[in-house]
Amino acid sequence: MKTIISFLLKIFLLLNSKYKIKFLNKTLRIFNDYDKDFFFSYNYRKKFFKESKNKINNKISIIVQGPIIRKNNFTLNTINLYLRNCNSCIILSTWENELSTLEIKSLKKKGVNVLINKLPKIKGPRNLNYQILSTINAIKISKLKKKFFIIKTRTDFRIYLEKFDIKILKLFNSFKKKNKYLRIGSTSFTLQKRLFSVSDILMFGTTKNLSDYFSKLYSDKEFLNFNSFLKKLKKENFFLKESYSCFPENFLCYNYLKLKVNKNIKYNSKNYLDSLKKYFFIIDNSILDIFWYKYNHQYEYREYNHQLKFLDWLNLGRFND
């Protein structure tokens, strides 16, 4: 069986893009006709993009933070795509020794702001301080450039939606008119059944609000104290057990709300769901046509740990009730 699959794969890879698509169409049509359990579909997206220069004509910054993904030259081609699709200030915030001198020079020539950061001494849970530091420094550049709106994303994440910067801003502003308390947007990677798990893979909002969300580096003591705090809480059965362990999402979200929004907030389901509908905006991954280059990237927008979709978010309750 492995030999047959290997042989078919080799033939498939030799085909040009037009015939690859035809081959997939015919193969899936057969599967859909004869498989007794499932219907199958697929999506295909370009990997590589020609270089172009940044044409800035708005007050938006796109922050791409994290280590450079070299496989398929993913991160640098993501930058090329954004240069083509958007007219915003693009800031690439990464680490020492991730880019060559030639690559930095090339990026700057295209109008990309490149930040080379030193790794912080304290990593935090799942390298949270790495994300915070690279984001904080990028926000500083955004402020210097006088940009009032930020879309923060990652180096292993790509948005294919054309002109997504303007579309996100317009959508955010339309909901802001209905809800004056709205502060930050995220995606349907946000988890409804894991308390305070607003996804930080992609976030957007005013420069002020993103600066408040990623406000400082945290100490080991602060992470340990938060973990101890969670362990002492009464567990709510409806929610995932991970709600009571320290993750980047719940640590960032709860501390932001506690320190910057409502000092009386409690770590429970009512306060979490109330905060989601009042202070956050959720957009579906499928609307943005995203590709996250993770180990199981072949799965498209699957139900994973009860993701909070746009319609779920709308149904949390009316604004200002």
List pLDDT tens digits, range 46-90.
Answer: 998 998 889 899 999 999 999 999 999 999 999 999 999 999 999
Rounded to two decimals, the pTM is 0.92
Q: Using the predicted structure, report yes or no on whether residue 184 has a pLDDT greater than 90.
A: yes
Q: Using the predicted structure, report yes or no on whether residue 227 has a pLDDT greater than 60.
A: yes
Ramachandran sector of residue 306 (left: φ over 0; alpha: ψ -120 to 50; beta: rest): left
Q: Is 19 exposed, middle or buried (0-12, 13-18, 19+ CB in 10 A)?
A: exposed
**Mean pLDDT, rounded, for 161-179:** 97
Class of domain 60-217+277-314: alpha beta
Report the percentage of the chain scoring pLDDT > 90. 77
Range scoring the smallest mean pLDDT among 166-170, 174-178, 208-212, 296-300: 296-300
- Whole-number average pLDDT of the chain: 92
Contacts of residue 70, Cβ cutoff 8 Å, sequence gap at least 6: none
| pLDDT value of residue 12 | 75
Q: Using the predicted structure, report yes or no on whether residue 303 has a pLDDT greater than 60.
A: no
**Mean pLDDT, rounded, for 92-100:** 98
> Structural domain boundaries of the chain?
2-34, 60-217+277-314
Q: Using the predicted structure, report yes or no on whether residue 18 has a pLDDT greater than 80.
A: no
| pLDDT value of residue 30 | 86
